[in-house]
Amino acid sequence: MLLPQLTRTHQTILANARTTAGRFAELGKPGKNEKHLLPYIHQIHSAYSSLLATVHTNLGTTTTHQIGKINHQITTANKKRLQKNLRQLQEAGRQEKLDGGVPDYTEVKIRLVFAMLLSGLLHIGETFFNISAFQVFGDMWLASAALAFALSIALFCWSHALPVFVKREEEKRRKILVALGGIAIVTVIFTVLGLLRSQMLTLHTEQSVSAVYFVLLNLFVFIASAVVSYFLLPEWEAIKALIQSRKKQRQQNQRQQAQKALNQQEKHLHSQAEQHVKNRIFNIGQAHDLERQIHLWYREAVGVFIQENLIRRSDGITPKCFANEAPPLKGIYYLPEQN
């Protein structure tokens, strides 16, 4: 603790004050008409001024004051920046509400997922069904599976593209023609697959099975997938609106997260500023109390000097300067007039 150290120094200064007072008394100083006391108590004044400097050095009051000012400036600048960002986020949120907010496309999403799921299951089954057709080129099952999977992906996409083309046509006759044309394209593919599958079956079982059965089975899967897409898959405009809605929702979530983070930062800055103020007040309070104590010790030491000088004087004179106030110490937080 700083106070015990200062107390020990004070006791040393008191002892030196008595010695100095006795030495001046032997010389008959100060003189009777001497008006200035400081030349005789200069050592005492300097010693307690040094104690004040020790207080400020140990408590870092001067540095703390400067740091406090810098922290206040930084905190103020950060608060302004945070408040500006918060206003921008809030304005974006208000503008979004004015624009209608984030539309609810739950039904579109459900229809899209359900259509893709049903169609996907159909084509997954078709993939395994088509593997045997490609095995006619060799016994490499993995290569046959890859070819069958690639073909199923293409048919999956076409089964969803064809209903879109059909819906774009306004005349019923043109709708039928587009549908038949799309089915005719895949029928050619399925006929080739059926012939390959029939050939594969003949090689392994020596039984002849018409390719028509395989073509009809593939067509059933394709048409079922296309029908599902036609009645369940939302319009392309609705899908684009769903994508935009999802994008807006992500932006809204990001904005809310950013706003929450900024609010937390603002609270942290406020708490930090409060802590800086508390530390500053505590530091100033300590410095004020110690300065006050040093001023009291200084007056005590001056009183000891005067009393010792008068006791040890042989001329019985009381100098005029002893009736004057001792020159004050230069404190920062405590002034003698406050007492």
Amino acid residing at 31: G
Give dist(CA 41, CA 51) in Å, integer. Answer: 16
Domain boundaries of the chain, sorted by first residue: 2-84+267-338, 106-259
Contacts of 231 (CB under 8 A, 6+ apart): none
Q: Are the C-beta atoms of 60 and 283 separated by less than 8 Å? A: yes
Sign of CA pseudo-dihedral 202, 205, 207, 211: negative
Task: Indicate the pLDDT class of residue 313, thresholds 50, 70 and 90.
Answer: confident
Contacts of 134 (CB under 8 A, 6+ apart): 143, 144, 147, 148, 196
Give dist(CA 231, CA 220) in Å, integer. Answer: 16
Picking from 311, 328, 324, the residue whose alpha carbon sits closest to that of residue 24 is 311
Q: Are the C-beta atoms of 37 and 322 separated by less than 8 Å? A: yes
Q: Which 3 state secondary structure label does DSSP give 277? A: helix
Q: Are the C-beta atoms of 36 and 323 separated by less than 8 Å? A: no
Residue-wise pLDDT for 106-125, tens only, equals: 666 677 677 777 777 777 77
Residue-wise pLDDT for 152-204, tens only, equals: 788 778 887 888 788 888 888 888 888 888 888 888 887 877 777 677 666 65
Q: What is the token pair recorded at 140?
A: 């490499």
Largest CA distance in the chain: 150
Residue 61 has pLDDT above 70, yes or no: no
In SS3 terms, 253-275 reads as: HHHHHHHHHHHHHHHHHHHHHHH
Residue 52 has pLDDT above 80, yes or no: yes
Task: Indicate the pLDDT class of residue 304, thresholds 50, 70 and 90.
Answer: very high
Q: Per this entry, what is the length of the chain? A: 339
CA atoms within 13 A on the CB side of 123: 25
0.85 exceeded by the pTM?
no
Q: What is the mean pLDDT of residues 311-322?
A: 89
Going from the C-alpha of 301 to that of each of 183, 200, 338, the distances in angstroms are 114, 120, 20
Query: What is residue 101's predicted lDDT score, i.e. its pLDDT?
Result: 47
- Indicate the average pLDDT of the chain: 76
